[in-house]
Amino acid sequence: MTLQETQDAIVEEFLQFDDWLDRYNYLIEISKELQPLDNKYKANEYLIKGCQSRVWLSGELIDGKVVFTADSDAIITKGIIALLIRVLSNREPDEIISAELEFIDKIGLKENLSPTRANGLVSMIKQMRMFALAYKTKMEQNK
């Protein structure tokens, strides 16, 4: 599935639910599917600090694609992380850098991405793009 197709699929899944409560319950379900983060990554160097919740993120370059793993101490944040990983992980750096993440808005979870929430998600997306940019540079240097 392409990045865009994945976004569309997520939107479709969420639009099954009319009620916000069901959407959040679905998000909680999704959070449980997130691969547990290896404890070595739950260190300060991987921590993205938010005032409200904490996010740990690592990104590795495997066969020219960036693979992300992440976790959070809050479930709602974790659910959104799972969605972001579904969309952005295992993609080429250029795709990640230029991705327009419209699905969050479309599924009615936009308030979670407001910078004022300080839950670490906005910084997380920025950090994911930084990983992509760094790996892109590295790949170009190795050519």
Partner 1 sequence: MFDVNSVRKDFPILGSTVHGKPLAYFDNGATTQKPQCVIDAVVECYTKTNSNIHRGVHYLSDQSTEMYENARKNIQQFINARYSQEIIFTSGTTGSINAIAFSFGEKFVKAGDEILISAMEHHANIVPWQMLCERKNAKLKVIPVDENGELKLDAVDSLLTEKTKILAITHVSNVLGTVNPIKAIIDKAHKKGIPVLIDGAQSIQHVKIDVQELDCEFFVFSGHKIYAPTGIGILYGKEEWLNQMPPYQGGGDMVDCVTFEKTYYNSLPYKFEAGTTNYVDAVGLSVAIDYIKKLGFDNIAGYEKDLLEYATNKLQTIEGLKIYGTAADKGPVISFLLENIHPYDTGMILDKLGVAVRTGTHCAQPIMDFYEIEGTVRASMAFYNTFEEIDRLYEGLLRVKTMFG
Is 73 a binding residue for partner 1 by CB under 8 A? The answer is yes
* Residue numbers annotated as active site: 51
Inter-residue contact 70 to 57 (CB < 8 Å): yes
The reply on whether position 52 binds partner 1 by CB under 8 A is: yes
Nearer CB in complex with partner 1: 58/77? 77
Per rule CB under 8 A, is residue 48 in the interface with partner 1? no
112 binds partner 1 (CB under 8 A): yes
Nearest to 41 by CA among 14, 71, 62: 71
Q: Which one among 1, 5, 15, 20 touches partner 1, defined by CB under 8 A?
A: 20
In the numeric block, which tokens belong to residue 28?
Answer: 């909680």
Per DSSP, the residues of 12-50 read: HHHHT--SHHHHHHHHHHHHHHSPPPPGGGSSGGGEE--
User: Which residues lie near partner 1 (CB under 8 A)?
Assistant: 20-21, 24-25, 28, 51-54, 73-77, 112, 119
